[in-house]
Structure 1
Amino acid sequence: MNLRFVEAFYWVASLKSVSRAAEKLYLTQSAMSSRIATLEDELGVLLLDRAGKQFKLTGAGTRFLSYAEKLLELQREVKAEMGSGQAMAVSMRIGAIESVLHSWLIPWLEKLRADHPGLELELTVETTPILVDQIQRGTLDLVFAVLPASSEGVRNQALPTMEMAFVGNPDLHKKRNYRLRELADMELLTFQKGSQPHVTLLDLFRSHQMEPKRVHAISSISAMVQLVQGGFGVALLPRAAVERLTGFARLKPLTCDEKLQSLPIHASYRTDPSSKTVEMVVQSAIAFASGGKSHQKGARKSHKGKPLPSKKSMT
């Protein structure tokens, strides 16, 4: 039995789509369909119910799915046991929100590459709803987002939360401490409407019976930083991102008399019975993010003097 065909069936069943499974395995849809058909011929049963418009496994397909997972797990164990000790090739499709990108993601990827020189990376920076949809559809292997994904075959792990801070222009915001009412009278910048930072910012003021003068929804940290530098207003950003960005931007964290809600971060990833690569990468990310302060100092120093990133991606 060709295990490549077993793997094809496993991902078709897991992602409930021939086309999405083909995309994951870098195959054409016709090649994927051919592998499934060949496997069905070998087993002498139909694995996919092709009668209706909705994806559905046959009874035999449902039974074979558990065998397919066991076969792929056994293949992984054999490779690990009989391997030559060569460096592991790591191919990952990773997605992240901007808050993670501008805090610990890049130095972590640098460490991951150092630990695994064979790293082949596809990186997507998007909003949480888009990232969650992509991990559920199987177009990404691992995402770092505010919300966990909820889908069969997807696991979630909470990462350390990100402390938030107001940040202003040091030439304009000279006070050491600011009261919430003072901040309410300023032009405020935060992420897009409906995002966790945007919602919690409004809730913070409303819980104190205040209505901020104006809240601007900006989808890019780079844009917010440049607006703050230009004197446009005060931004609400992850403190770790602010500390890293101060290597090439003049920013001043503003102390507020009210505690700000931290930004939750979750790692969501799809399990793969044929490889432990994703689990290894997730644990590496958790360990790195948990030791964030020392990593951020080193990263800030190494990036000092570089131009401000201009990528317009959403958080």
Structure 2
Amino acid sequence: MIKSRITLKQLEAFSFVVDMGTFRAAAAALGTTQPNISSRISALEAALDVTLLYRDAGSVRLTTKGKDLLERTRDVLRAGEALLEAAGRQELIEERLRLGVTELVACTWLQPFLRQLRREYPNLRVELQVDLSRQIEERLREGQLDLALQNAPFVSRTSGERMLSSETYVWVANEEVVDGLAEGASVGRFFDRAVLTHARHTAAGNALHELARERGYDAGKIVHSSALSACLPMVSEGMGVALLPRSLVQGELDAGRLKSPISDWTAPPLTFFARFNSNRAPRFVEKASDIAATIRPSATEDKLNL
């Protein structure tokens, strides 16, 4: 019978080798060894009496029959997950989610997302990577991540993409710096001192440099930080005025430790997305994106309306 000849682990190995491009990469992604992956593929080919993959030096290619059976393989794997979900036994899904998030997500709503994910998938192992959005996008494109929670813009599209709520920016400084600002609403008065913000090639960083060019401000006053959390102590100590996402500084504003000076310009909002490759992702990846869509608005909608 089929149960004694073909296993889900064999089908999983086949799918991952195709997605990752090599036996070694598939083994790393599945948390096993290259010989195990090779053994599973060989056993699957023997059971089906077909050659699924051509083994070239350092890479693999699908045979014609392999191409025909790949989607069937994915269907079986997803059906297995659907069976466990229908039975209410998500705890039997003992898989790994390779999750990439931006620092802003990590500093704001990542923990509520992970708590809800654990409630629904208690034995799902999350491997977290925190980085700039463009690095996360590259890893997702190369198959090194299963799910990305990141902000636009993107270089390329993905087959699975769910828009989350936006993130507004706000100017902040400590009370002493705010009291020392010239009167008026012009952003130009912030350039009398350091202006702190995102890393150089982020959307906000580019927008700020474009504003300085258009209005003739001294762009040399702009201080970029690839770690947003590092901006908070600098602005709290009076280094200058900072352009930062509201959710990152809302607690400091509520406590009165930082103030928001009036201004005639701020950066366009960041739009966040949950992104994954729907043509090859397991069902739990799509479910994780559903969870992000419920957590993200509830975590920030009140702050975004301020």
In the alignment, the residues of structure 2 paired with residue 94 and residue 107 of structure 1 have an alpha-carbon distance, to the nearest angstrom, of 15
User: 2:100·2:128 contact (CA, 8 Å) conserved in 1?
Assistant: yes
1:27 is aligned to 2:32: yes
Q: Aligned Cα RMSD in Å? A: 3.0
Confirm whether residue 101 of structure 1 aligns to residue 106 of structure 2.
yes
Q: Secondary structure at the match of 1:159?
A: strand
The amino acid that maps onto 1:161 is: S
Q: CA shift at 1:283, angstroms? A: 1.4
Deviation of the 1:234 alpha carbon: 1.5
The answer as to 2:172 corresponding to 1:167 is: yes
| Identity %, equivalent residues | 26
Residue ranges of structure 2 left out of the alignment (5+ in a row): 1-5
Q: State the AA in 2 paired with 1:145.
A: Q
CA distance 1:211–1:269, change in 2 (3 Å):
same
Question: Alpha carbons of 1:286 and 1:77: their partners in 2 closer, same or farther (altered >3 Å)?
Answer: closer
2:144 alignment partner, one of 139, 148, 151: 139
- The alpha-carbon deviation at position 69 of structure 1 amounts to 1.7
Contact 1:186/1:212 (<8 A) preserved: no
C-alpha distance in 1 between matches for 2:227 and 2:13? 38
Instruction: Give yes or no for contact 2:197–2:242 (8 Å, CA) kept in 1.
Output: yes
Shift of 1:59: 1.2
* 1:302 alignment partner in structure 2: none
Please tell me the residue identity of whatever aligns with 2:297.
S
TM-superposed deviation, 1:50: 1.8
TM-score (norm 2): 0.83
Residue 202 (structure 1) aligns with: 209
Q: 1:78 aligns with which of 83, 91, 115?
A: 83
Decide whether aligned partners of structure 1 residues 116 and 249 sit closer, same or farther in structure 2, where only a CA change above 3 A counts: farther
Q: Secondary structure at the match of 2:178?
A: coil
Shift, 1:161, TM fit: 1.9
Note the alpha carbon deviations across 1:96-135, whole angstroms, 9 max, x for none.
1112222322233334445555554332211122212222
* Alignment TM-score, normalising by the size of structure 1: 0.81
Q: Any conservation in 2 of the 1:96–1:144 contact (CA below 8 Å)?
A: yes
Question: Cα gap change, 1:5/1:150 in structure 2, threshold over 3 Å: closer, same or farther?
Answer: farther
Residue 9 of structure 1 is matched in structure 2 by 14
Judge conservation of contact 1:184–1:213 (CA < 8 Å) in 2: no
Q: CA deviation at 1:251?
A: 2.0
* C-alpha deviation, 1:282, in angstroms: 1.0
User: 3-state SS of the aligned residue for 2:250?
Assistant: helix
- Which runs of 5 or more residues in structure 1 are unaligned? 298-315
Paired AA for residue 206 in structure 2:
V
Verify the 8 A CA contact 2:197 2:243 in the aligned structure 1: yes
The 1:74/1:267 distance shift into structure 2, 3 A limit, reads closer
Q: State the alpha-carbon separation in 2 of the partners of residues 6 and 79 from structure 1.
A: 17
Q: How far off is 1:8 after superposition?
A: 1.0
* Residue aligning to 2:290: 283
Structure whose residues are more often helix by fraction: 2
Q: Classify 1:185/1:55 alpha carbon distance in 2 versus 1 (closer, same or farther; 3 Å).
A: farther
DSSP 3-state at the match of 1:171 = helix
